[in-house]
Amino acid sequence: MATPAPVILVLSVTTISGQVTRHTYQAPQSKEGVSDLVARTTARIDDAFDPATPRGFVLENPMVIYNLDHVVSITIGGLSDHDLSELAQKTRQKLGFRAN
């Protein structure tokens, strides 16, 4: 019996220069562990949108410090469709986005 491939969370950040940097995180085996990893990682980005905090965030693997003013998009991959949908809903709520 083959060992299942490890789940990896991948954040791809595109900057205004068009550069794309991929950050990879080994996801824990449990659903709760995956949820915690996603929550901790996205909390850093969410904080950058708060006017009371600096407009920047840090991601690892590779370690990059981003200025939110220079980020065009952040793409999240490597998770199940259900996890991605749940993450998108939570992000819209935190950032005040409205679903189209």
- Listed ranges 7-11, 45-49, 81-85; the one with the highest mean pLDDT: 45-49
pTM: 0.71
pLDDT, one tens digit per residue, over 40-67 is 887 888 888 888 888 899 999 999 999 9
27 contacts: CB under 8 Å, gap ≥ 6: 6, 7, 8, 9, 33, 34, 37, 78, 79
What band does 98 get if pLDDT is binned at 50, 70 and 90?
low
**Residue 96's pLDDT is what?**
57
